[in-house]
Amino acid sequence: MKELSNAHPAKVREYIRRNEWRKPTSGLANGFTQANLVILKKELAFEFLLFCQRNPKPCPVIDVTEPGSPVPQLVAPDADLRTDLPKYRIYRNGELVEEVDNIISYWEDDMVAFLLGCSFTFEKALLDNGIPVRHIECGTNVPMYKTNIPCVKAGRFEGPMVVSMRPIPEKDVVRAVQVTSRFPAVHGAPVHIGNPESIGIQDLQKPDFGNPVPIKDGEVPVFWACGVTPQAVAMQVKPELMITHAPGHMFITNLRDEQFGVL
């Protein structure tokens, strides 16, 4: 693990491809950007890309492959999306049917792979600014909630925005907004600060996905748009076949987190 935490992404992906790393990717290839994966058939690709374009906060597109190509030309032209993630999920008609460690036998020549920015990038920026990230301290998954905020519809794709929550000390809230605003390509600024009820969240201790985290005195719950949104929305369309990364088992790009910073 220690060897891979400061390795170049190409080396880490080699380990993963040979099935020598089958665990979550958090902490690997430090400083390089990790991404969510959604694979759909070309027939749905335009509508899904449009959905992402209309909802850039939950669905920040960082690369889309040519139909039939498993190579993300922009962010890792030496990679293969069929083998270079440690774990995949196969959904048929909206139902999870299998978890696999490569998708070579599932790949078809009309498939389009979407890589979407993930929260690891802005969490690193928070940590670099001395702002604590509770679920990392706890070693658990970030708590995620369905909200009453509708995404903007695109064709068949529609549904509510899913958000992740991090409790931020009052004195750091303004800085947390500034720091994450630098990264619009990876969820960017928060979507809500302070009143969970206003966005349809009844109980912070009962997240819809992930694990609850303690909120200390003097901390404010801050909510960011979450990359689970596009998967949840795509699932509702019940596509014949959809493939995603398994939670936490991300794709590691060749781009550095800082390259996504505006100014």
Interface residues with its own copies (CB under 8 A) are 42, 45-46, 49-50, 53-54, 61, 64, 66, 73-74, 152, 154-155, 178, 181, 184, 188, 262-263
Rg for the chain, CA atoms, rounded:
18
**Distance, CA of 261 to CA of 249 (rounded, Å):** 24
* Least distance (Å) between residue 105 CB and its own copies: 26
Q: Which is nearer to its own copies, 114 or 120 (CB)?
A: 114
Least CB distance to its own copies at residue 81 (A): 16
Q: Spell out the alpha helix ranges (H) of the chain.
A: 2-5, 9-17, 42-54, 120-128, 134-138, 173-181, 228-236
Name the residue nearer to its own copies (CB basis): 60 or 207. 60
Cα dihedral 225, 229, 230, 233 in deg (nearest 10): -140
Identify the CA nearest to 157 among candidates 48, 55, 241, 244: 48
Cβ(118)–Cβ(182) under 8 Å?
no
Q: Provide the H-helix boundaries in 6-140.
A: 9-17, 42-54, 120-128, 134-138
Which CB, 73 or 198, lies closer to its own copies?
73
Nearest distance, CB of residue 74 and its own copies, angstroms:
6
Minimum CB distance to its own copies, residue 49 (Å): 5
Choose between 26 and 181: whose C-beta lies nearer to its own copies.
181
Residues 6+ away with beta carbon under 8 Å from 14: none
Nearest approach in angstroms of CB 53 to its own copies is 6
CA-to-CA distance for 198 and 207, rounded, in angstroms?
A: 16
Residue nearer to its own copies on the CB measure, 53 or 211: 53
Handedness of CA 65, 68, 71, 73 (dihedral sign): negative
CB nearer to its own copies: pick between 42 and 256: 42
- Give the shortest CB-82-to-its own copies separation in angstroms: 20
